[in-house]
Structure 1
Amino acid sequence: MTGGLVVVGASLAGLRAVEAARSAGFDGPITLIGAEEHLPYDRPPLSKAYLDVAEPPGVSFREEHHLRAELEVELRLGAPADQLDPAQRIVRVDGRTLPYDALVIATGAAARRLPGADGVAGVHTLRTLDDAIAVRAALDSGARTVVVGCGFIGSEVASGARKRGLPVTIVEAAPTPLVRAIGAEMGEAIAGLHHRAGTDLRCGVAVERIESERGHVRRVHLTDGTAIDADLVVAGIGADPATSWLRDSGLRIDNGIVCDATLSATRGVHAAGDVTRWHNPLFDEVMRIEHWTAAAEQGAAAARNALAPEAAKPYSTVPYFWSDWYEHRIQFVGTPGADEVRIVSGAADGDRFVALYRRGDRLTGVLTLNGQAVIMKYRGLLTRRASWADALDFAAARAKKPAGHR
């Protein structure tokens, strides 16, 4: 190799690609390109522990010395890649061209912004470390908070605000939250956590406009004619894969970079993390997953396959994510599309339950509330393609065990 391995995206997936390359024995040049000036950092704490009342935790994965001296990585931070030519195997960054022999794209996704709110102080997304710093500062000052979107990020922000005793309202356009993530029935159940915590959750209504005063947000006007006073507005309305810089690359872009089962987009180019839409052999589905675990696994797999394409292996996984609300942990494994959802332990209106998702005669998903002791056991069942009958037998066997041994 002459241009070596280039990784675009100083993300979790990008970092794991670098580490996997070195672990696999690759001793050629590695370049890591990042749009932000920060070293690769952990995103989940940004909407969780980083907003807590305690001192914010460190979120960087590795020190700069480790990346430069031990992994021998050339860091190019603070400027995004803006063009790719796969035929010439060239990436352009900040007006300069960078050749590669193998490329891993791990540019992640960009948070959607509220229409009409650009330039209004106090209106934020929560995707980057700089976003988290700004949101935390507003909460520290006692901001009256409005969260737009009752997804996991927005709900974690609301949880952080309520932990400080601050008034918070969540505005959700859909009649039921989290339908795409966990289905309508369980979305309603999980929404109960907001009501019990004293959060004002308003579903089936959207933001009409943001009112500002002297350039700072003052009020959020809704489509039902009501208005909410606010010092802080956080948009949690989803994210789009960061692919705009690839528009002239010839890669197939369709809700992410379309890849095969080995995470290959085209010869010499692999992708990993939130930006990747690939065929998951375990479920025989094309998926794009915005989850920490998948990003870490895909980064390593993409690098190994990029450096040894003749020995490339398909990447399959059982999707997994977690979210922390009001001292409760929500965890989900699998996929939410289902013919039936059945609670096999606990109750939908309680503080602990296990819900199984069936499609056909197969177990396809599991949602738990405060089910840390069991969730990975169910992930194992999904990995083994367990039948619905096997899953129900497993749940029944656990129910017979003493509480301390479940």
Structure 2
Amino acid sequence: MPRPDPLYRWADRVASRFPTLSRCQARVLAWYSFGMVAARSGGLDRVSVHLAALSGVAVGTVRQRLREFYRPAHSKRGRRRRELTPEVCFGPLLAWVLSGWGDGPLALAIDPTSLGDRLTVLCVSAVYRGCAVPVAWAVLPANQPGAWNPHWIRLLGLLREQVGPDRRVFVLSDRGIESSELFRAIVALGWSPLMRAKARGCFRPEGGDWTPMPELAPRHGARFRARGQAFKEKSARLDCTLLARWDAGHADPWLILTDLPPDEADAAWYSLRTWIECSFKKIKSDGWQWQKTRMTDPQRAARLWAAMALATLWTLELGGQIDAARRPESPSPAGPKPRRWSTFLLGGAAILAAWITGADPSGRFHPQPWPAPERDAAPPHEALMKID
């Protein structure tokens, strides 16, 4: 059977991007991610059958190689048994994304996703053109007590060295993850949190009194931003900026905590966090079908996530390049035209077309320009006076 050039070109590219992996680990990671894109699934049997058809290797042989990828060392055959440590993939994944990013800001979203009542994945992703690339994760047993903050802080710390000291980084998190401990840890990395707080919190503007946060944006169209303190409890009290806004169509106001000065930040930036939810959909029902896995071992699942993250990166790299060409940045206040087709869909089609035509399915990341903050928020005292 002729050599499947697209598969081997991808394997060479992956090996060059993951120098800390062994030659065998890099090759199987490349094969697994390639098979996911080809099969539109992360299922072991589906990926194995597609790779076998492409490579001419027996299905059973391919399947065993892929199983060895996520198994622990003591469960593998042979003398030179090594297991993949998922953490060694985090830096290379982010470095790959940033290699075509330019010098613009980077937004990292942190959010959990669950696999029924079996596993919970704490994921850090680089948000990009309507979706997100997983770049660090921790897989935990579901529904078990334990703090998440140590995991979030460790994951973000593992990514720090891949980001230059001059790049602005925003860390976006949803309600339920907010805490003074995590906020301060993000600031200690030199990054800026955009941390959504629950509505039951209180805020005290500089020179003002403690006020329930929702009362600072009490109606649709309301805007508020000011420096002050969040959380009345002394042990959790936090010096920060509150960005509050309540847009039409939303059931609740956005209450965003950040370290940035009020006139240098915008609560609207938080909207990028929803892109990580789109990436979870791609990893599950709209892409790699992870919701169908029968895995229960967190360590095995964490290794499988390395292949899913790489398959997602490749798809978004191609799709984002097409999206950037189809939706050029507009100088008008309305911005670029709405996105009709997802970056993920465009990327998958581009890879398939490249395989059929013999082209090279590679690209680079083209991040969208970071929006300037709005200047229409009322000053703190004026905003407070308007609350009836």
Using structure 2 for the length normalisation, give the TM-score.
0.29
Higher relative contact order (CA 8 A, sep 6+): 2
User: What is the TM-score when the length of structure 1 is the normalising length?
Assistant: 0.28
Higher strand share: 1
